[in-house]
Structure 1
């Protein structure tokens, strides 16, 4: 959808403070895009605590978890495999496990400026519960990651992960296949109290007991303004220009790339048809055949933007902000034609060794103070009530960030990709794979 609004970008006027994800840290399928606005300012309940968590490879350990009540927060100014017969995780014991294994995307949790292996949220969790979080940034693409866990899940085996973070369509698939644990919401008072209403009752988990949203974000344009100059339209991705031809990346996620291609032609991804998909894929092929597109990538494109191998990319909002500290000329913008809105979700794979401690961690990040700590660094949309009030008390600029709390004008320009049937997902992914070569 095209509007007359000025494009939303992450660049700022000279002399104004750059919005960073770090300043705050030192100080201390949705029902519709527009519904986000009403949820942004609500307060929630929870208590913060504030130590060495580590990154590491998956391991298995006994599972445990206590339950607790939330305290007051600041008041506010394409798989078709059959479902497996995996047994559910064991009944929890009396105390948290010594460690849990978490798989997430890169650039998706607060990180120490001087040591990229340190994450205050994980240190806070260990200090409070004694559990080390083996946190691994191993997810760059939903389908690729699904391929690594599918054999174990199909065979009824533990994947080695206690908690994974995947995008809404993949969450829907895993839940549909019966490959996720049912959450014990009695162990998760913060999640119950502080999940914003807009996230509740999604069609793939109407009882909200198989997933917990991690963050939401937008898909648009990321580019090196020093090379390309200012860009506002998706048309740039299909324009042969000496400044960027051969240095453009499209996303390896079918929904993102097909969705942006559809928006370029004025089509709405939330009601996309098979004919629209075919047209979008044909246009994507044209960009590839012309030599404009260098590659299809997951999160790797962010590093390529920093290196200069890529100067224009289909990009997720928070990733580009993450890299501005390394390259100030990087900009993320919501195109004139609009962008996409997505949600990444925490799930516990069926048969996980430490289910109840994973639930404890999920609930921990729904404490508004912890959620604010994460949101301030990642610059994605937080699903947690009360996080905005915490940010406002520490940094009014962050509390007003259009990336963390999108205004109505922004939300009017983003679309959520249509929920696909299993047959549609298989068909569209197969057609997309022909173009990407995967």
Structure 2
């Protein structure tokens, strides 16, 4: 694949390159901080991404950007799109309840869900990993965890898809408008649900946040709505990609799939390597809170800075043979869950779900094979993963 020096970000965003953007990322790293024609800055080396993800001069709040097409004009964005001190307080409200003990306690229920999904495929010789497995697992889990009715999934799936479709960096105005409509519809749904839970407490994190009187100040209704919406979307969309990308990678490396079947204890390191090698979130955005200079490149205040996490994850200056999938790779320090104060709150749950899902697939699918490679991918360049992943097999074992 030949990649020119110019318009590299445009090429990453081009759907034609969705199946394999990594040659473009390699070209980016030749000049690891580049100004694009639209005035944005692309950062692609491990060193620079690590530095900027922890830099207080970088904001995640797009309302502070100088690009009107990408600013989200809403009263209260989710906490991952806010800076300190608001970010810190709102994040604390979540992580004070989203504890390691809670995540660990979910294992039996997650195993039950996975077993049911695979049992439902008995008698078949082909499965769509996305529709029949990787999507229903995390969406069921996050609904039960939050206390959102699972039967409402058909509604919020449409709205979530609208929101994600708009994650095209603000370049498609129609998609941006559609994304805002999706946010409004999902926020309205969450508002009604929160009102119901306010009157009738139920199991789940939403009810716990609404009715907890042990903290000095509870979240107000707007904060509850945006936090619930964020957790619902983030709680399943990226995990779908993690499970699907992992399955695709393992089936492309059948010796690794067989190793997992025989030695399931290797799953933890294998997941970290997939996260590095095929991250479910390819890049994130910041904007400069002040004029600054990075490696001699001047970045004006308000400019968008793209942190190309997927490019940094394959930087040969940090990883040996970065384009090789190595489940036994030591010290896998990747950026697939972000970093710094904005490190993904849901990372432990995503890892647990992937652990249970992949271990079960390796144990129960007899002689699995990819039906199509590469598979069709989702439209989003940010949340990159197959839209469908058809896998054939002889049978599903007990």
TM over 0.5: no
Which structure has greater strand proportion? Answer: 1
More relative contact order, 1 or 2 (CA 8 Å, 6+ apart): 1
